Chain A
């Protein structure tokens, strides 16, 4: 039967795989995908809590915001990736070490 914990379990799995992608993959595009996964896991959490607490529509609205933010973030991230590729001719994350102290 489907209850709150099922949703939380799903979002936990999504969050975890997003983190793993973020940490383990060296491809910038893949890392952006990992960020999408993390954000969507958060959105699922919001929806789930709203659905099972019969409260108001706050969670829905928040999720809409998250989707908008995720879209904007993806656009910015891709733009950075393109600029990065133009400069370095690669999108390997280990080459982006200019912040090194």
Chain B
């Protein structure tokens, strides 16, 4: 298995070149541009599939990775020891991630040809999609934090322009700015963390950071009295908080649904929010070294539960999905916090698949509901209902994904979420400080099952509540770019793709290790292994499986002692049983409330009006940011700075400079007029004219005069001798 730049780089370069080309031709050749975008992402999907195939079916070792490094710039020749390396780092995790991103993005591209077809900026949408996807792929391939940061920011820009895609609407413009600025808060911390790591380690490559952690380089160092590892880990984690919409920076994600629905699918599933979790997974040893795990698990649990409660009362179909995204991201972060590295990444992948499918299905629903009075598409669930028969394929896709996200057995969401919850339960049993985390996690699972089925029931079941809208909706036919992408994604919501035993880890191992590829291949980066690591040079060409090419023996107990392993298994058994019961209970509640009408949700809302108002206002986070942070603090700071600018800087510095300039100008004018113009320029002319007069007089043309002059000169010469 030889990897060179030619087999890795196209993954990120194909969509990027599609972006560059399309940016120029999109206005005139829209259809060609769309085709270029779609085919380029499909091309990078093929490259990613090859790498995935090599990693999972070829080498099959948890520790295997390919690391290619080239020097970006090196100014050590000037005596300053400053050198920046860039490179690719592919291990099982990034191989899986590449396949997921390219696959999901390809299907989203295909769906967009249906959804965006009648939009007046049809082509431009694909330009952004290409750049967005290539940035995400670049981030996944990066081997150091600096290039991660570059692609991270590129994605921030793309999300900004996609959320504000319908910029004629004021809300879209505001939402795009909000998303950009909120994630920027996290990015600043992230950059700060990068700088800290660089200043200590001298490099921000993942491998170097792992090496430094294993060599205990970060220990004993402090920043402003805090342990350096903690500060660095917290700063990097703040990047995740911003990008993956964790509390307290989650406010941007619900507004991100102002963008077109396929772009929401891309942001919520494959690219933007996944990047944050991916970064935290990559930096997992740093989080451990910084003792951040409890904080991370709490943030994740609070996010998961809080967002789930908000989702309960949303009426916009996309808003429900947006809050469910935040909630599921909370699960992933919680999983990192409780040490469920593998399960957390698994949830990232399974969530990406079913959430992309859910958003595309929601897009399909929205697209087929057209209000002829306002000439707009309908997103409000109270106006839907009974769409099951009109949109059968969308219904099937959405149902499967809902089952997956709710954690019903046999579906992917169950496998991954259950394993996170099992680990949370295990941690809660071990340390009492983790009990709230586990409680919030299980509570969120209940709420997830409830609100997702609420959405399903309101949308597809019951009687149509808006008769006219329902009658205008056309019956759905199977079409290659509307339903097929959904159905393909639906296939991958089955749990069997991700783990051999369909029921997940605790229900016995009926399959061999290859079928449990996810659990056996992806493991926490073991920093001790990186101690004697040296990198491959990209130019050198020879790829060497740097740690071991042997197939790892699947360790049933995950390296734990017999007794510990017993506890873990016990906890996972309990967790699985709990989460199944809870999921079915949630579905049952939703069934009671929205199909049988046994419970009236309106009454409950009225009974808890204070709570429901808090939920309506999303726990007043937006109010807090707007009223307190922006109006009270930032705006005042802004006014003060404006006063500083206008009153001090403008008046004294700018106007003073102007005065000095004016005097300089007067002097320059005098100098120019007198010395340059009068003396040098006119003087040149005058001297020429003077010599002209003399020479013209001498050259009379009379030969005899010349002769006399010659004689005179000769005579003078002789006399002089």
Contact = CB atoms under 8 A, between A and B. Distances in A.
Contact of A94 (B695, B698, B702, B711): B702
A101 B702 CA distance: 10
A57 interface: no
Contacts of B699: 99-101
A97 B704 contact: no
A54 interface: no
B707 A97 contact: no
Overall SS of chain A's interface: loop
A98 interface: yes
Interface residues of B, number: 12
Contact of B707 (A23, A98, A99, A101): A23
Interface in B468-524: none
A23 B704 contact: yes
Interface in A78-101: 93-94, 96-101
A100 B704 CA distance: 12
Nearest to B696: A101
Contacts of A101: 695-696, 698-701
A87 to B, nearest CB: 15
A60 B696 CA distance: 45
Given A101-B695, A101-B696, A22 B701 contact: no
Interface string A21-49: 01100000000000000000000000000
A70 interface: no
A19 interface: yes
Contacts of B701: 96-101
Contacts of A94: 702
Interface string B115-154: 0000000000000000000000000000000000000000
A23 B696 CA distance: 22
B711 A19 contact: yes
B718 interface: no
Nearest to A101: B699
A22 B703 CA distance: 10
A24 B297 CA distance: 124
B697 to A, nearest CB: 9
B607 interface: no
A23 B699 CA distance: 17
B704 A93 contact: yes
B700 A100 contact: yes
A97 B695 contact: no
Nearest to A25: B704
B708 interface: yes
Interface in B666-721: 695-696, 698-704, 707-708, 711
A52 B572 CA distance: 144
Contacts of A98: 701
A16 B704 CA distance: 15
A22 B696 CA distance: 24
A22 B704 contact: yes
A93 B701 CA distance: 10
Tier of interface size on chain A: 10 to 19
A98 B699 CA distance: 11
Contacts of A19: 711
B698 to A, nearest CB: 8
Most B Cβ at <10 Å: residue of A19, A94, A96, A101: A101
B702 A97 contact: yes
B707 A93 contact: no
B708 A23 contact: yes
A23 B708 CA distance: 7
Contacts of B707: 22-23
A100 B696 CA distance: 8
Contacts of B698: 101
A36 B236 CA distance: 111
B700 to A, nearest CB: 6
B709 to A, nearest CB: 11
B696 A96 contact: no
A52 B676 CA distance: 70
Contacts of A100: 699-702
A93 B704 CA distance: 8
Nearest to A99: B701
Contacts of B703: 93, 96, 99
A97 B702 CA distance: 6
Nearest to B701: A100
Nearest to B692: A101
A16 to B, nearest CB: 11
A45 to B, nearest CB: 15
B135 to A, nearest CB: 78
Nearest to B711: A19
A93 B699 CA distance: 16
Nearest to B698: A101
A99 B708 CA distance: 16
Nearest to B695: A101
Nearest to A97: B701
A19 B707 CA distance: 9
B708 A97 contact: no
B706 to A, nearest CB: 9
Contacts of B708: 23
B638 to A, nearest CB: 78
Contacts of A96: 701, 703
A22 B707 CA distance: 9
Interface string A57-71: 000000000000000
Contacts of A93: 702-704
Contacts of B695: 101
Contacts of B711: 19, 23
A94 B708 CA distance: 15
Interface string B208-230: 00000000000000000000000
Contacts of B700: 97, 100-101
Most A Cβ at <10 Å: residue of B696, B699, B702: B702
Contacts of B696: 101
A97 B711 CA distance: 20
Nearest to B699: A101
Interface in B629-680: none
Contacts of A97: 700-702
A94 B702 CA distance: 7
A99 B699 CA distance: 8
A17 to B, nearest CB: 14
A96 B708 CA distance: 16
A36 to B, nearest CB: 16
A97 B696 CA distance: 13
A98 B704 CA distance: 14
Interface in B442-458: none
A23 B712 CA distance: 12
A92 to B, nearest CB: 12
Nearest to B706: A99
Interface of A: 19, 22-23, 93-94, 96-101
13 contacts: A22-B707, A23-B704, A23-B708, A23-B711, A93-B704, A96-B701, A96-B703, A99-B701, A101-B695, A101-B696, A101-B699, A101-B700, A101-B701
Given A19-B711, A96-B701, 18 more contacts: A22-B704, A22-B707, A23-B704, A93-B703, A93-B704, A94-B702, A97-B700, A97-B702, A98-B701, A99-B699, A99-B703, A100-B699, A100-B700, A100-B702, A101-B695, A101-B696, A101-B699, A101-B701
Ranked 4 nearest A-B pairs via Cβ? A100-B701, A101-B699, A97-B701, A99-B701
